[in-house]
Amino acid sequence: MKLPLESLKHEISSLREEETDSRYGKAPEERSIKERINYGFILLDKPAGIRSKTAAYIAKNIMATLGAKKMGYSGTLEH
């Protein structure tokens, strides 16, 4: 069974051809670890019995040496 947005593929259509300047920005797959932290995303298997908030806080502390300053989480169990 599938949820509505699951495995949804979006067809991309071009309006025109245009180059992008390689001096600025960086494709997601080329980012270094430090750069990836800023746009980072983790799927955490939260241990049972602790709050989501606590788990996110611990995760932030673990990743802090790599430059994580903010750690947001989404979704509580009962929704």
For binding to another protein (CB under 8 A), which residues are involved? 1-8, 10-16, 18-21, 24-29, 31, 33, 36-47, 52, 55-56, 58-60, 62-63, 65-75, 77-79
- How far apart are the C-alpha atoms of 2 and 73, rounded to whole Å? 24
Between CA 78 and CA 72 the distance in angstroms is: 18
Residue 51 CB, nearest approach to another protein (Å) = 11
With H, G, I as helix, E, B as strand and everything else as coil, classify residue 31: coil
Q: Taking the complex as a whole, how short is the minimal distance between the CB of residue 2 and another protein, in angstroms?
A: 8
- Least gap, CB of 60 to another protein (angstroms): 8
